[in-house]
A and B are shown apart, each in its own frame.
Chain A
Amino acid sequence: MERVEKSMGSVAVALDYDAQLMVRVKEGDGVSFGLLLEKHRSSVIHFLYRMVQNRAVAEELAQEVFLRVYRSRANYEPTARFTTWLFRIATHLALNSLRDGKYERAEARLDAETPESTARQVSDASPSVEQLMVRQARLDEVRQAVAALPEKQRAAVLMHKYEEMEYSQIAKALDCSESAVKSLLFRAYETLRARLAHMA
């Protein structure tokens, strides 16, 4: 399947830019590290948040991701896209965190985070209490459906849906083949379709 490359030129420029920044970081340029952090901070934290479903854990893991990027700068070689490398580290840490048992704590905090989400939505559009409750119930349903996916399927869906990463990038981040990624995504979306299709 052919995928849209947005614009081959702009992708290539973006790739070169990130890689160049990282090469400068390798040479000791702290400002370039700041630029990389500014550019990718949100996407990394949001990805990790959706993986572990806990803001504090997600931020802690994101700190570790950028810390590893910085500390391994001496060994960096621009052989792949910077984002692929970045999300490979993030995925690795997220999967380890889930396997270490932080997942249970994250699930326990799902309810605890509900008021915060509600508060954000109130300021957005001033919906009625009933609308808020319906929206919250749907959001919880989405979160639980994603959380119920096997870890690798979850990571693949999040990278595909929210980070708009290509199959080849997801494959490198998950250390598997492209066909395996297609299979992971098909099974994940099949599960989500069964659980969420009624929301249409």
Chain B
Amino acid sequence: MICPMENGDHAELLALTAQQLEEPQVVRLQEHLGACSRCREFVARQQAVWQALDAWEAPAITSDFDRRLFRRIEQRPSWRDRYWAFQHWVPIAAAACLIVVAGWVSSRPARVAPLPQTQAAQLQSLQPEQVEHVLDDMQMLSDFTKAARSDAGEL
């Protein structure tokens, strides 16, 4: 067989130590270990690590673990949960608001642009004499137009 160490496939040797291989693989690897000192040394050191880790026991679980959990389940969601739930809806609500505002803006009637300040000032500063003068001018133009038409009819 190809040497796992030379092949860079340490996973097979790790699996051997973890007893995760099937019998034919174990037999094949054991035969190889008998002839390969590198793999033998690797497995021995890995087994030492494995045994050291085996010695590490986790402490006992507190007796009220389940009771505390079910109490939390029965409680209303915490402010943190509600905050996260709220955060989940924020982008959707913001998008909806944006659409409503955009629709309102686009549906508004176009406003008449106000007169420039100079024009408004001119209108405000018109005097009665000026208005009379303009009306006289208009009357004169009207008389001139009538005279011109009557001349044209005579011709």
B8-48 interface bits toward A, Cβ cutoff 8 Å, 1 = contact, 0 = none? 01111011001111100100000000000000000011111
Query: For the complex, is A107 an interface residue (Cβ under 8 Å from B)?
Result: no
Q: How far is the CA of A116 from the CA of B50 in the complex (A)?
A: 24
Judge whether B145 is part of the interface by a CB distance below 8 angstroms.
Answer: no
A67 to B68 CA separation, bound complex (whole angstroms): 11
Q: Is the CB of A1 within 8 A of B65?
A: no
Inter-chain CA distance A2–B62, complex, in Å, is 39
**Is B69 engaged at the interface, CB distance under 8 Å to the other chain?**
yes
Instruction: Establish whether residues B65 and A59, one from each chain, have CB atoms under 8 Å apart when the complex forms.
Output: yes
With A63-B69, A186-B10: A49-B20 Cβ-Cβ less than 8 Å = no
> Residue A160 contacts which of B18, B19, B57, B66 (CB distance < 8 angstroms)?
B18
A77 within 8 A of B: no
B53 proximity list for chain A (CB < 8 A): 142, 146, 157, 161-162, 192, 196
Q: At the interface, is chain B mostly helix, strand, loop or mixed?
A: helix
What's the A-B contact tally at a CB cutoff of 8 Å?
105
Residues of B within 8 A of A135 (CB): 55
- Chain B, residue nearest A143 (CB): B56
Give 9 closest A-B pairs by Cβ, nearest first. A200-B48, A46-B58, A197-B45, A196-B52, A199-B52, A193-B45, A192-B49, A1-B11, A197-B48
7 residue pairs bridging A and B, Cβ less than 8 Å apart: A2-B25, A50-B56, A63-B68, A67-B69, A138-B52, A186-B10, A199-B52
